[in-house]
Chains A and B, each alone.
Chain A
Amino acid sequence: MKKIYFDNNATTPIDPEVFDAMMPYLKEEWGNPSSIHWAGRGARKAVEEGREAVCKLLNCTGLELIFTSSGSEGDNHAIKGIAYAKKDKGNHIITTKVEHPAVLNTCKALAKDGFETTYLDVDGDGLLNLDQLKSAITPKTILITVMYANNETGVVFPIKEIGEIAKGRGITFHTDAVQAAGKIPLDVQKLGVDLLTISGHKLYAPKGIAALFVKRGVRLVPLIHGGHHERNRRGGTENVAGIAAIGKAAAIAMRDMDKEAAHLASLRARLEKGLAERVPHIKINGHPEKRLPNTANVSFEFVEGESLLLNLDMKGVAASSGSACTSGSLEPSHVLLAMGLTHEMSHGSVRFSLGKMNTAEDIDYLLEIMPPIVERMRGMSPLYAGAK
Chain B
Amino acid sequence: MYSEKVMDHFSNPRNVGEVDGPSGTGMVGNPACGDIMKLTIKVENDKITDVKFKTFGCGAAIATSSMVTELVKGKGLDEAEKISNNTVAEALDGLPPVKMHCSNLAADALHAAIEDYKKKNAAK
Contacts and interface: CB of A to CB of B under 8 A. Distances in A.
- Overall SS of chain B's interface: mixed
B42 interface: no
B10 to A, nearest CB: 6
B27 to A, nearest CB: 7
B64 interface: no
A328 B102 CA distance: 11
A380 interface: yes
A328 B62 contact: no
A330 B98 CA distance: 9
A342 B34 CA distance: 11
Contacts of A323: 34, 58
Interface string B46-61: 0000000011111111
A307 B16 contact: no
Contacts of A331: 32
A343 B11 CA distance: 25
Central interface residue in B27, B59, B103, by most chain A CB within 10 Å: B59
A321 to B, nearest CB: 9
B58 A382 contact: no
B36 interface: yes
Contacts of B102: 324-325, 330
Contacts of A303: 56
Contacts of B54: 380-382, 385
B31 A307 contact: no
Interface in B7-53: 7, 10-11, 13, 16, 18, 27, 31-38
- Overall SS of chain A's interface: helix
Contacts of A310: 2, 7, 10, 59
A332 B99 CA distance: 14
A332 B56 contact: no
Interface string A369-386: 000000000011111010
Nearest to B65: A380
A313 to B, nearest CB: 10
Contacts of A383: 36, 56
A325 B103 contact: yes
Nearest to B38: A382
A379 B18 CA distance: 11
A303 B59 CA distance: 11
A342 B32 CA distance: 9
A344 interface: yes
Interface string A327-357: 0101110000000001110010000000000
Contacts of A305: 58
Interface in A302-323: 302-307, 310, 314, 323
B33 A324 contact: yes
Contact of B31 (A328, A342, A385): A342
Interface string B88-124: 0000000000110011000000000000000000000
B37 A382 contact: yes
B58 A343 contact: no
9 contacts: A304-B61, A307-B57, A307-B58, A310-B59, A325-B58, A325-B59, A332-B34, A380-B16, A382-B55
